[in-house]
Structure 1
């Protein structure tokens, strides 16, 4: 039986203007985030294998245009909904689900009835006669699977020097445990998995050791393997530059991003920094993750 404990600490620092001198005892929390950005849009983010998070903004002009086109009472007579649309690998819609929401809430959690699907969302109004009036369409996301992946990515099958670089890039080299120790731990875990796989693959033994082999197989007939990984996601302005553990990452066109990281035992420090397009403002978020795996 395996008990796995994860502890996450999230520390956010406000924006700061470059080139300004600050006293050592002064903490700049930055300007408060604006309540709106003057653009009608909605953004969809994956939270876990079965949940998504959506937030939106609707400008006053959009409200006026909708009332002008569909009637002054359209927001009273029609139901506000988020239409969840699942798509296939070719991005063709497979099905849609309507979730009633309150437009004043400006954000909502959406439940997916299966893991690993690709979705986008449409914020809109559903009239009594069944018509759907689109207000804004979100970006496309793919939910993670709720299990250990059966795909072995070749980038993890690498020599020790390259593995150290991977660990250092993910923040592993910046915590109390050194990269070499983490590399040894990963190697030991993979070796254990390989041994378990070989135990299951035993198909024949010699007649002289039949009794001993049967006893070993009985001892090893029940087994358990478990592991976990980390999904990091977020959003910022479309023109911003974002780094994770001092490594630049590519943003989606709407300013969102997501990464899948290995999660070995020990402490993992993940600094995330965004710099505005004009290079004048910076915001940082520091996430600390601790994993402890116990085998009994």
Structure 2
């Protein structure tokens, strides 16, 4: 009787199959020790195509390929490859840093220039003749025009006064409204702060209501501290009905210079400063103001004989205007008055040196209704005695 005994392999079937499944080291030599039936079972289990027709050596080759395909990829092989730094980028870094530093320096210079309010002398004036001043002119019911001269020494003093706050301070124009302007020392209230910049020496300021005010130029710190450089003359902004907007250029305002000078306080006796008069005379290149104020700019001597025939004649007239219904009939002192299509009328009346009564009668178109308005007016003109001015006072 013949008995066949199968010797167990060195590795149990389940353990060896688990080793193969985990992709551990499997070699052709270790597979040759397995019977064909076990190799066929492994090939079937791991999806080897055509395993049932393969011989043992073919099964071994197919299983070795499967085992290699299941081996894990080393971590080092999975890491992305980092390209080495390009030498050109390292060379471009200093050039880029230099360009950035240049732009920063240019920005600092622009900021410093915009902050500097110091002005240069013009018209051949020496720098020593300059002084800190700001002059304001009224250019209509909605605009003020400010001119200033600021010396470099004044900027240095402002920088020292502000200390660490100087770096964040901004150049500013402040509008100060004069309250109780009729008093000897009116109080002032800041109603507007207008940020300005360097490189200019004049600025237009829009005003929103009639007021008496002055301007102040200086530097405003972030925490509210204001370092003033100069204060202007006081001006009165008229209402819309009292003034028209004036031209903006010196060459165009020559004809209106006396009006602008008066509106800007040039004839006021409140202030003794001559800044406004000097500015007008510098820009217009001619004297301005009454002869008593021109004495410092006009050469010549006073001759009493030349003023012996000096005289002045004054006359006056009055304008009467109003409005009624269109088509109405209006008379003034019995004389008919032309009425416009909208019912308005306007007529000039002589104003002699006496008292007079002016009746104005209006009737509607059909003459049924009538209304009378009486204006009583008196003119009293006096000619004062001529007064001479001593030459020594000129």
Q: TM-score, normalization: structure 2? A: 0.32
Bigger Cα Rg:
2
Choose between structure 1 and 2: higher strand proportion: 1
